[in-house]
Structure 1
Amino acid sequence: MAASVDPVGTGDLPVTGRPSVPRPGPPPWVAMYHSVGDCSDDPYRITVTPERLGLQLAWLRRRGLRGVSVAELLAARARGGGRNLVGLTFDDGYADFVTDALPLLRRWGCRATLFALPGRLGGDNAWDPLGPRKPLLTADGIRRAAAEGMEIGSHGLTHVDLTKADDLTLKTELVESRALLEELTGVRVDGFCYPYGTIDARAVDAVREAGYAYACAIDPGPLTGPHALPRVHVGQDDTSWRLHLKHRLHRLRRRPVEGL
């Protein structure tokens, strides 16, 4: 999706004599995934089977769309392109990203952003009281995903609701998680994803001040912007027809994004 930016240089003026202000572009279409595997016990609807993910990626390619990381999508939009790109994100850093998602992404020529929890490497989804324990990636797993061309972003240290965190915890979750991931991969970490999708102005400001270039939420409403990007949940029930509707409705229902 191309951003609606007026091609006016810094020194140019429109006929009114007033400086032109670029209009915010339509929100980028970013799909939100979590786990890829057995979804027979899935109370939070966070899991898609490998078969379903493969069909969803195939649907993208049939429509002339390609899944990319959020960083790649935003960079393309900044250049005035990206019309055929869709952001793919996988939250929490489940171990099945490497075993089940990565081969499918490779097969369909797609890339994605993996939002990991460096404070829980090799652990599990202890923050979910219901459902099965799902193992998280180890340090080696995250390095392998990065080596395969996936963008690694931060999901915080330990999956804390930032809107309920005190000032010290908030800063630690943002700053230390980024530093650990950069040390782990040797690559700059530009992206953040809010645990639980919950945000407020204080959390958004803290993410910006921590130096992240962008952050993903779910439905940020009036806080929508580069540090509160809306996303679309994609689950096991999303057939081709449901994806078609979600793709069309996202542009109509979400707020424009300033600067994109």
Structure 2
Amino acid sequence: MSSSVESPAPAGALPRGPVPWIAMYHSVGDCSDDPYRVTVTPDRLARQLGWLRRRGLRGVSVAELLAALARGAGRNLVGLTFDDGYADFLADALPVLDRWECSATLFVLPGRLGGDNAWDPLGPRKPLLTADGVRRAAAAGVEIGSHGLTHVDLTRADDGRLAAETAGSRAALEELTGAPPAGFCYPYGTVDRRVLEAVRAAGYDYACAIDPGGLTGPHALPRVHIGQHDTAVRLFLKRRLHRLRRRPVEGLR
């Protein structure tokens, strides 16, 4: 990977600023059977990253993006995130990222390592990275973040389950990789004030959602879904609309 993982500065030290553009990917591979639209082919990913680079933009991890914004830089950076920790990340996504000199954040589920996407009732079973696969991704310069332990809607979890999915998953990933993850990603993108505070209390520097509305901030960063049908025109419109629709983020330049 082209960039080392950086830790974002403490959120309270940063002023209010425009919402950063963070792209949300999942699986990279065969998308012929993809009812949830979570898969892009390696060729489509390459075309999308090429579109960024031709416009002077570069995809980076969320930690690197936030650290750059804290320095008053980062206007040419786009956050790239891959949810769920699919095994195809190593074989199909990482080589494309390397080719375009991009980095990314990979949100994994330490309670499902070596399993599959059992939470999806429809569509094919997709294998998830093993513990060794997560370590290999980290060694390649990918930022490893938590997606919870088992991919449950945290807004419906009791206090014990919420603690396990947030603080417990952070401890598990620290044991796995040797470093505590800076970032968290809410499964299904769902977050409320109680869940946000649990993530903050667990020690995460930031967290990614999808469209958190009034909760938007360093622990509820909005993202843009990027899929197989996102061509150059659609990417242009998504980037433009993201800044028009999203609330400014307290704590970011």
Q: Compute the TM-score of the two structures, normalised by the length of structure 2.
A: 0.93
Aligned to 1:212: 204
| Residue identity opposite 1:170 in structure 2 | L
| Residue identity opposite 1:112 in structure 2 | A
From 51, 58, 67, the counterpart of 1:59: 51
Aligned-residue offset at 1:176: 1.3
Aligned ranges 1:127-146 → 2 under 5 Å: 127-146=119-138
From 56, 81, 84, the counterpart of 1:89: 81
Aligned to 1:46: 38
Aligned-residue offset at 1:23: 5.4
Whole-Å separation in 1 of the counterparts to 2:251 and 2:168: 28
| Residue identity opposite 2:38 in structure 1 | I
Q: Confirm or deny that 1:114 pairs with 2:137.
A: no
Whole-Å separation in 1 of the counterparts to 2:178 and 2:160: 26
Aligned-residue offset at 1:215: 0.2
From 92, 115, 130, the counterpart of 1:100: 92
Q: Compute the TM-score of the two structures, normalised by the length of structure 1.
A: 0.91
Q: Confirm or deny that 1:153 pairs with 2:117.
A: no
* Count of aligned pairs between the two proteins: 240
SS in 2 for 1:87: strand
Q: For residues 23 and 146 of structure 1, do their structure 2 counterparts lie closer, same or farther at Cα, with a shift above 3 Å needed? A: closer
From 216, 220, 229, the counterpart of 1:224: 216
Whole-Å separation in 2 of the counterparts to 1:41 and 1:229: 30
| 8 Å Cα contact 2:14-2:70 kept in structure 1 | no
Aligned to 1:30: 22
Aligned-residue offset at 1:24: 1.5
Whole-Å separation in 2 of the counterparts to 1:70 and 1:119: 23
Whole-Å separation in 2 of the counterparts to 1:63 and 1:80: 20
Q: Confirm or deny that 1:237 pairs with 2:234.
A: no
Aligned to 1:5: none
From 191, 201, 216, the counterpart of 2:193: 201
SS in 1 for 2:78: strand
SS in 1 for 2:79: strand
| Residue identity opposite 1:104 in structure 2 | V
Structure 1, residues 171-200: CA drift from partner, whole Å, max 9, x if none? 011111111111111123110000000111
Whole-Å separation in 1 of the counterparts to 2:14 and 2:219: 19
The percentage of aligned residue pairs carrying the same residue is: 79
Aligned-residue offset at 1:51: 0.6
Structure 1, residues 145-188: CA drift from partner, whole Å, max 9, x if none? 10110000000000011000000000011111111111111123
SS in 1 for 2:111: helix
SS in 1 for 2:101: coil
Alpha carbon RMSD of aligned pairs, Å? 1.1
| Residue identity opposite 1:252 in structure 2 | L
| 8 Å Cα contact 2:212-2:220 kept in structure 1 | yes
Q: For residues 209 and 102 of structure 1, do their structure 2 counterparts lie closer, same or farther at Cα, with a shift above 3 Å needed? A: same
Aligned to 2:10: none
SS in 2 for 1:118: coil
Higher alpha-carbon Rg: 1
| Residue identity opposite 1:64 in structure 2 | G
Whole-Å separation in 1 of the counterparts to 2:15 and 2:179: 32
| 8 Å Cα contact 2:19-2:246 kept in structure 1 | yes
| Residue identity opposite 2:86 in structure 1 | Y
Aligned-residue offset at 1:22: 7.7
Moved over 4 A (4+): none
Work out which structure has the larger RCO, using CA pairs closer than 8 Å and 6 or more positions apart in sequence: 2
